[in-house]
Structure 1
Amino acid sequence: MRGAFLALPLLLLACESEPTFEERYEETQKRIQEKAEALDAELAEPPSPASSETAEP
């Protein structure tokens, strides 16, 4: 019986440490935004002369 009383607070603490949906959504949205910005920056760079020479058959 005493063990059950000790286990209850531990279970509540374990449940509390999980991120909420909003926290997970914000973190995922931030990662997607960072990837999109990196892709935009990569696409905005002009192609280098070396890469254009190898692209032509």
Structure 2
Amino acid sequence: MATPFNITVVNVYAPTSDASREDIEIFYDDLEDAILKTPKKDMLIITGDWNAK
């Protein structure tokens, strides 16, 4: 029998390369906070539009 587990999905819309340095830092700080708040036992999936322009 399989063991159930939680999945945490974080979907992001990253700022473009035209964004200010401050906006980019805020984005990555927020992403880091979301990752750190995810329980270690959860499967973490991060997806989204990363705007690699």
TM-score where L is the length of structure 2: 0.41
More helix by share: 1
Is the radius of gyration larger for structure 1 or structure 2?
1
TM-score, normalization: structure 1? Answer: 0.39
